[in-house]
Amino acid sequence: MVNDSVMTALLEFRSKRNWEQFHKPKELASALTIEASELQEVFQWKTEEEVAHLLSSPSREKIVDEIADVAIILSYLCHDLGIDLNGAVLSKLQKNEAKYPVEKAYGNAKKYNED
Amino acid sequence: MVNDSVMTALLEFRSKRNWEQFHKPKELASALTIEASELQEVFQWKTEEEVAHLLSSPSREKIVDEIADVAIILSYLCHDLGIDLNGAVLSKLQKNEAKYPVEKAYGNAKKYNED
Amino acid sequence: MVNDSVMTALLEFRSKRNWEQFHKPKELASALTIEASELQEVFQWKTEEEVAHLLSSPSREKIVDEIADVAIILSYLCHDLGIDLNGAVLSKLQKNEAKYPVEKAYGNAKKYNED
Amino acid sequence: MVNDSVMTALLEFRSKRNWEQFHKPKELASALTIEASELQEVFQWKTEEEVAHLLSSPSREKIVDEIADVAIILSYLCHDLGIDLNGAVLSKLQKNEAKYPVEKAYGNAKKYNED
């Protein structure tokens, strides 16, 4: 997820505030949706052109901050559950390779059980 | 986010399927919420004890897979927007240090404008 | 969803601001998640006791407002797609009766394909 | 929200399964996001044209069902918290009228603190 020194800083931040007690797995999963939704809100009602403008305006910092918030929660979650994220992603990627074979999925984001 | 070789595998997966066209920033932000919400659903209606049981049962694999899905979307987003996630997290952590000073935040997850 | 006079007020609000152009079905679905997530955030990190306290404190107004925001988006969505919400709920309830037969579902929120 | 006879059917469904115990306000708020996100997923990766096609295809039933799921959770929440949804929406609409005056908001979905 994040590198070791950043993870250490995250854990120190949490420990200093005695916030481990709030970080139950279910709460962190809920927080992940909340943070992701805040990122989504930055793009709400916007056209593709307006999003492009946003990304090269001072609002970019807000977007980066919201992405960081998601990453922070995800990092705590992986740390607390003992998940090796690189391994988890590779394992899921293999499942996705089987689920979306190139010959069927090429240029097509539909699931195969859709109309 | 993920290490370089995993990121390379993610980009190859996407490129082989010609899926870059679907991964507009706004769509990825939306996908991030959808994936986070699927993780949240695994814990839905469950008590703390049931969650603990889940995490040491075969359902653990489902949880790890859902976390991987969030990490996959987050990785594409950071890649596409040119965001250094370690730097973004450190920068946000500094803002959080200022926003939640230890003396006020110790053992207290409330925001200061709440009742 | 809401009664006819409230729906009329919602449509007037939107029309006066020329906001129909933003309310594409996909955008409204995205807005629904964003608003629901804001409600969820009010309860974040809180114990059952703290939530009960919140509901009888001045914060109750914030909760009611967030619920109203969800209802507003849902009302626009049903209006724009020509959905009769009472009929839709009854139809879905019948499917849920079949999916969760009383003898299996009594006191049990688990889906049947879970551990 | 829904009419009295539909609300009665929802409460009977829940009572017969002894599911009130799961419907704590925080859980219902979480369920609301999960259901809204499932609706959002139906539109994921889709262009405006594809969404229009979806809405006039057999997939329309899935969309109506997902909207019903959101309405069901919202109905339980309002019932359990004693919220009059029509009143809540009118009250929130008045706040929105003040927040988004017509002369500033006409044809413009931006919040005023944005770039």
Q: pLDDT tens digits for D91-115?
A: 999 999 999 999 999 998 876 555 4
From the list A9, A33, A92, the residue facing B37 with the nearest CB is: A33
Tell me whether C107 touches chain B (CB under 8 Å): no
Separation between Cα atoms, residue C95 and residue C93, nearest integer Å: 5
Residues of B with CB below 8 A from D30's CB? Answer: 40, 44
The pLDDT score that the predictor gives to residue D111 is 66
Contact A70, A35 (CB under 8 A): yes
From the list C22, C27, C37, the residue facing A33 with the nearest CB is: C37
Q: Do D54 and A115 touch (CB under 8 A)?
A: yes
Half-sphere exposure of D80 (CA within 13 A, CB side): 24
pLDDT in tens, D14-33: 999 999 999 999 999 999 99
A98: nearest CA partner in chain B: B13
Per-residue pLDDT, averaged over A6-31, amounts to 98
Q: pTM of the entire structure? A: 0.96
Q: Tally Cβ neighbours within 10 Å of residue D100.
A: 18
The pLDDT score that the predictor gives to residue D114 is 57
pLDDT for B23 beyond 60: yes
Hey, which chains touch C, using 3+ CB pairs under 8 Å?
A, B, D
The pLDDT score that the predictor gives to residue C1 is 75
Tell me whether B103 touches chain C (CB under 8 Å): no
- DSSP string across B77-101: HHHHHT--HHHHHHHHHHHHHHHS-
pLDDT in tens, B40-79: 999 999 999 999 999 999 999 999 999 999 999 999 999 9
Q: Do A6 and B40 touch (CB under 8 A)?
A: no
Q: What type of residue sits at position A52?
A: A
Residue partners of D15: CB distance under 8 A and separation at least 6: none
The pLDDT score that the predictor gives to residue A80 is 98
pLDDT for B115 beyond 70: no
Separation between Cα atoms, residue B77 and residue B82, nearest integer Å: 8
B107: nearest CA partner in chain A: A18
pLDDT for A114 beyond 90: no
Separation between Cα atoms, residue B28 and residue D38, nearest integer Å: 16
The pLDDT score that the predictor gives to residue D110 is 75
Q: How confident is the model at residue B111 (pLDDT cuts 50, 70, 90)?
A: low
Q: Do B2 and A78 touch (CB under 8 A)?
A: no
From the list A33, A58, A114, the residue facing D33 with the nearest CB is: A33
The pLDDT score that the predictor gives to residue B38 is 98
Q: Tally Cβ neighbours within 10 Å of residue B75.
A: 21
For residue A17, the distance in angstroms to the closest alpha carbon of chain B comes to 4
Q: Tally Cβ neighbours within 10 Å of residue B23.
A: 17
**Using CB atoms and an 8 Å cut-off, which of residues 35-64 of chain C contact chain B?**
37, 44-45, 54, 57-59
Separation between Cα atoms, residue A12 and residue C107, nearest integer Å: 41
The pLDDT score that the predictor gives to residue B113 is 53
Residue of B42, B45, B66 to mutate, interface with D, max D Cβ within 10 Å: B45
Q: How confident is the model at residue A91 (pLDDT cuts 50, 70, 90)?
A: very high
Tell me whether B33 touches chain D (CB under 8 Å): yes
Tell me whether B104 touches chain A (CB under 8 Å): no
Q: Do B45 and D33 touch (CB under 8 A)?
A: no
From the list A22, A38, A44, the residue facing C45 with the nearest CB is: A22
For residue D114, the distance in angstroms to the closest alpha carbon of chain C comes to 17
The pLDDT score that the predictor gives to residue C110 is 75
From the list B30, B40, B45, the residue facing D44 with the nearest CB is: B30
Work out how many CB contacts closer than 8 A connect A with C. Answer: 27
Phi, psi of A7 (to 5 degrees): -60, -40
The pLDDT score that the predictor gives to residue A109 is 82
pLDDT in tens, D34-51: 999 999 999 999 999 999
> Among A106, A52, B30, C66, which residue's Cα sits nearest to residue D85?
C66
Residue partners of B11: CB distance under 8 A and separation at least 6: B79
pLDDT for A112 beyond 80: no
C-alpha triplet C79, A48, D35: angle, nearest 5°: 45
Give the ipTM of the model, two decimals please.
Answer: 0.95
The burial of A5, by beta-carbon neighbours within 10 Å (0-12 exposed, 13-18 middle, 19 or more buried), is given as exposed
Q: What type of residue sits at position D68?
A: A
C68: nearest CA partner in chain D: D89
Per-residue pLDDT, averaged over D70-81, amounts to 98
Structure tokens at C14: 């939107």
Residues of D with CB below 8 A from C111's CB? Answer: none
Q: Do D44 and B33 touch (CB under 8 A)?
A: no
Residues of chain C short of pLDDT 70, as ranges, are 111-115
Residues of D with CB below 8 A from B33's CB? Answer: 37, 40
From the list D45, D58, D109, the residue facing A115 with the nearest CB is: D58
Structure tokens at B24: 């507009």
For residue D9, the distance in angstroms to the closest alpha carbon of chain B comes to 21
Residues of D with CB below 8 A from C6's CB? Answer: 86, 89-90, 93
Q: Do B34 and D27 touch (CB under 8 A)?
A: no
Per-residue pLDDT, averaged over A76-92, amounts to 98
The pLDDT score that the predictor gives to residue D34 is 98
